[in-house]
C-alpha cells in the first residue's frame, strides 16, 4: 500500500512531506525505544511511535525509515517538523492508539519490519 492508504486506514493527516503520499509501505513497527528501532528495523519501514522529540526524526534518518506516524493525536514541535521536511521524511499523526493503529495496518496486510522475533 501507499502512505496515502495508511493515512486513510488510520484516519491520519500529513504533517510533513505530504507530497510523498505515493511512497510504498510494506512493513511497519510500533516502538518508543529508539535504540530498538535502530537495532532491529529494516530500511523503508513505517515507524509508529508516541514520542515526538527530534531524535525520532534523527532515528528515521539514520535507519532509512520510510515514514513516521505519531499515535494518539500527538504532534511534534515546529522545529522537528522542519527537520523532517529537510530530511525528506514524511510524518503523519493519527488520533488512534498505538494498539489500534498497529492492528488496523496488520489487518490490511502490512507486516512487521522488526528483524527479530516471529
Partner 1 sequence: MTAENKISKVQELVYEIRVGDVMKKNVITVGPQDRMSEFGKILREKRISGTPVVDQGRLMGVISIDDFIRWLAERQEDCPVERKMTKNVRTLYADEPAVQAVNKFDQLGFGRFVVIDRRDEKLVGIITKGDIIEGLLKKLEVDYYDEQTNHRTIQSFFDDVLADKAALFFQYSVTGHDFNKAGETASRIKTTLKRLGIAPQIVRRVAIATYEAEMNLIIYTEGGEIRVRVEPHKILVRVEDSGPGIPDIEKALQPGYSTAPEWVRELGFGAGMGLQNIRKCTSKMGLMSVVGKGTQLRMNISLDDGVASETN
- Does residue number 42 form part of the binding site for partner 1 (CB under 8 A)? yes
Q: Which of 18, 20, 51, 74 binds partner 1 (CB under 8 A)?
A: 51
| Phi, then psi, of 53 in degrees rounded to 5 | -80, 165
- Binding positions for partner 1, 81-110, rule CB under 8 A: 87
- Does residue number 43 form part of the binding site for partner 1 (CB under 8 A)? yes
Stretch that binds partner 1, among 1-9, 52-60, 67-75, 98-106 (CB under 8 A): 52-60
CA–CA gap between residue 73 and residue 26 (Å, rounded): 23
With left for phi above 0 and alpha for psi between -120 and 50, is residue 64 left, alpha or beta? left
CA–CA gap between residue 29 and residue 43 (Å, rounded): 11
Stretch that binds partner 1, among 2-10, 11-19, 42-50, 95-103 (CB under 8 A): 42-50
- Does residue number 24 form part of the binding site for partner 1 (CB under 8 A)? no
Contact between residue 22 and residue 43 where contact means Cβ atoms under 8 Å apart: no
Amino acid at each position: 500500500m501507499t502512505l496515502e492508504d495508511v493515512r486513510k486506514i488510520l484516519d491520519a493527516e500529513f504533517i510533513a512531506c505530504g507530497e510523498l503520499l505515493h511512497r510504498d509501505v510494506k512493513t511497519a513497527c510500533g516502538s518508543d525505544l529508539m535504540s530498538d528501532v535502530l537495532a532491529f528495523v529494516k530500511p523503508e519501514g513505517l515507524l509508529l511511535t508516541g514520542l515526538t522529540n527530534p531524535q525520532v526524526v534523527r532515528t528515521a534518518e539514520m535507519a532509512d525509515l520510510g515514514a513516521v506516524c505519531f499515535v494518539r493525536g500527538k504532534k511534534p514541535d515546529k522545529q522537528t517538523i522542519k527537520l523532517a521536511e529537510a530530511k525528506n521524511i514524511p510524518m503523519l499523526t493519527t488520533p488512534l492508539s498505538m494498539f489500534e493503529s498497529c492492528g488496523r495496518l496488520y489487518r490490511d496486510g502490512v507486516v512487521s519490519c522488526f528483524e527479530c522475533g516471529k
